[in-house]
Structure 1
């Protein structure tokens, strides 16, 4: 990829420099919901050449919280007008990396879950809980009387 072009203005430069890699609002909302359900997990753990946001080691489930912009959400992803060619290349490279990581983890026996930023955290947590119970052969919440 070519060198990063200069920001279109100072406000954009400041906003982009403050982008977090981990501990984002959607990520913490999902973690809070998972924890509320009694689920325990690892955060930001290296798994192969990937670094999922939430990891269930024994169940071999890797959860990535995908930002709508950075990972090109099919519903809410947008493309900047400034430096459009550079951003198109950057965002395409991000989605290619995401697919490569998914394939590598799946080949290694991991279940990969993508949770989009725009998803409801409670719904996403319920889905992860269901997948975890299926992988660990634990009864569902209804079987526990909850």
Structure 2
């Protein structure tokens, strides 16, 4: 269990590298909300975007998840709990006006980074328009 990375996985690093190359700056493994004891893989606080890159095994990917052969009850319960916590996290963030982006580790890093880039830019523009609207 100690050898399993909870951050800085290869898919995360690839997506972060692509986002950085596009000029985006972000927080890594940060809490989007101070009172939420969960961290997102990539956080854009000013525009309230939280990005999660979920591992296929640990988060129950419908395409790649294979139940374990040994101690099935324990591990399947753990994955089911992770999935429930993911849904609760999404709900709590959305209630706080955050945009939640979830990707599977097997998805194309280029496509993931492009999606994140578009969402962040869209939310930046909306934030800027709201600020300008208050000045008028």
Tell me which interval the TM-score lies in, with the shorter structure as reference length.
0.7 to 0.9
| Higher Rg of the two aligned structures | 1
Normalising by structure 2, report the TM-score: 0.86
Structure 2 match to 1:85: 73
Cα distance, 1:37 vs structure 2: 1.1
Moved runs in structure 1, 4+ residues, more than 2 A?
Answer: none
Structure 1 match to 2:45: 57
**Distance across 1 between alignment mates of 2:63 and 2:95:** 28
Normalising by structure 1, report the TM-score: 0.81
RMSD between superposed Cα atoms in Å = 1.2
Contact 2:32–2:45 (8 Å) recurs in 1:
no
The residue correspondences of 1:94-109 to structure 2 (distance < 5 A) are: 94-109=82-97
* Residue-by-residue CA offset, 1:34-72 (whole Å, 9 max, x unaligned): 111111111111122121010011110000110011001
Give the gaps of 5 or more residues in structure 1. 1-15, 139-146
Give the gaps of 5 or more residues in structure 2. 127-136
Number of residues of Structure 1 aligned to a counterpart in Structure 2: 123
